[in-house]
Amino acid sequence: MLEARNLHKSFGELVATDDVSLEFGQEDGELVFIVGPNGAGKTTFINLLTGFLSPDEGSIVLDGDDITAMSADERVDAGIARSFQVVKVFEEMTVRENLRTVVLTERGKTWSLFSMADGHADVERTVDDLLSKFRLDDAANTVAEELPHGDRKLLDVAMSFGLDPDYLLLDEPTSGVSTREKEYVIETVVEVGREAGVTTVTIEHDMDIVTEYADRVVALHQGAVHGVGPPTMLETDDELRRLLLGVGE
């Protein structure tokens, strides 16, 4: 289980994370969506969980161990991977080459266990598996910068997934993706996460997507937890609806 305990983070006078305590991973393959108006502290919270920011107060606990002081890289090794709002892929490499770099990184730890030939075949099998899971087979030899936006997003998530995480934190995987592609991108991500039993925590602004796919919704407002509940909360919580529509922000 991944826990945030009383996290606080300020930037100067601005409180971006205000006493946030949340738990993830009680159930394998749970799909948690984080919602909230612009500036609510969603990305900051993901940055704190993944080690890209340090909290001013509070702690992050993984399976009972305090990991607050762990670096982002160490957290990846511990099973916490992320994607970014702006895709970070190697633009001039093909999709296959991008995925291979991740699998090699992940395998790096155990590389000596394989002979070179076995190791190579194993890496390629894993890359093929990622290509197929993320429906990128047809784009395997396409250079990343030439991919349609939806496939770029899928490649980005596939690269995080290739790190073999227990927890996958996704910062707006559908941002900038056309309405037509959105459903396809999120459906693919959801399916892969569920099948692998990976807990995914996804920031999402499209409430139709959240309603359709979330097992649990976390709503943030002004850095604090406004509420945690089933997606029906988006219908029943009038205050939340008002916040998400941006009234009074």
CA distance 171 to 76: 16
State the minimum distance, in angstroms, from the CB of residue 158 to ligand ATP: 23
Residues 26-55 touching ligand ATP, rule: CB under 6 A, are 36, 38-44
Piece of the chain touching ligand ATP by CB under 6 A; list 9-17, 60-68, 92-100, 226-234? 9-17
- For ligand ATP, the closer CB: 151 or 172: 172
Question: Which conformational region is residue 225 in: left (phi greater than 0), alpha (psi within -120 to 50 degrees), or beta?
Answer: beta
Structure tokens at 81: 């991977």
State the minimum distance, in angstroms, from the CB of residue 242 to ligand ATP: 16
Which residues are registered as beta bridge partners of 202? 33, 170
State the minimum distance, in angstroms, from the CB of residue 37 to ligand ATP: 7
- For ligand ATP, the closer CB: 12 or 64: 12
Residues 140-169 touching ligand ATP, rule: CB under 6 A, are none
Which residue, 118, 202, 123, 195, is CA-closest to 156? Answer: 202
What is the DSSP pairing of strand 31-35 with strand 216-221? parallel
State the minimum distance, in angstroms, from the CB of residue 18 to ligand ATP: 10
- Specify the length of the chain in residues: 249
- For ligand ATP, the closer CB: 40 or 80: 40
Structure tokens at 186: 């999120």
CA distance 194 to 197: 5
- For ligand ATP, the closer CB: 9 or 135: 9
Does the protein bind ligand ATP through residue 16 (CB under 6 A)?
Answer: yes
State the minimum distance, in angstroms, from the CB of residue 39 to ligand ATP: 4
- For ligand ATP, the closer CB: 37 or 79: 37
- If one counts every other C-beta atom within 10 angstroms of the C-beta of residue 80, the result is 26
Q: Which helix (H) or strand (E) holds 194?
A: helix 179-196
Contacts to ligand ATP by CB under 6 A? 11, 14, 16, 36, 38-44
